[in-house]
Amino acid sequence: EAQVTQNPRYLITVTGKKLTVTCSQNMNHEYMSWYRQDPGLGLRQIYYSMNVEVTDKGDVPEGYKVSRKEKRNFPLILESPSPNQTSLYFCASSLTSGGTDTQYFGPGTRLTVL
């Protein structure tokens, strides 16, 4: 089944404790992206990747890191999480680079930083 998977689905952590949220797609998509969704602010893009080893900042990259060493994986790293990073996070992928194709979203990761 074609899908985007994220792990973990739920995470409660404390300020300053490094964490990684994994994202994997099995559709051989080139474009992958991370979003956060907050009430009243909508979906905001954190980072995106046009292909392996090519990443760029979205609108809200501060406090986050990403890497794209393999085509299928695009982990999101929070080196020192803070309470303002409490949010619902979505990973997405689309077939071609450029952001002009349909995006397929993962199920989401609900992160709480205490």
Partner 1 sequence: EDQVTQSPEALRLQEGESSSLNCSYTVSGLRGLFWYRQDPGKGPEFLFTLYSAGEEKEKERLKATLTKKESFLHITAPKPEDSATYLCAVPGWGDDKIIFGKGTRLHILP
61 interacts with partner 1 by CB under 8 A:
no
Q: Which helix (H) or strand (E) holds 42?
A: strand 42-51
Going by C-alpha positions, the residue among 94, 97, 96, 93 that lies closest to residue 106 is: 93
* 70 near partner 1, judged by CB under 8 A: no
Tell me the closest approach of the beta carbon of residue 106 to partner 1, in angstroms. 6
> Closer CB to partner 1, residue 41 or residue 114?
41
**64 sits near partner 1 (criterion: CB under 8 A):** no
With residues binned 3-state (H G I as helix, E B as strand, rest as coil), the percentages for the chain, rounded to 5, are 5, 50, 45
Tell me whether residue 35 or residue 64 sits nearer to partner 1 (CB atom): 35
Question: Mask 17-56, x = binds partner 1 (CB under 8 A)?
Answer: --------------x-x-x----xxxxxx--x-x-----x
The dihedral built from the CA positions of residue 52, 57, 58 and 63, taken in this order, carries a sign that is positive
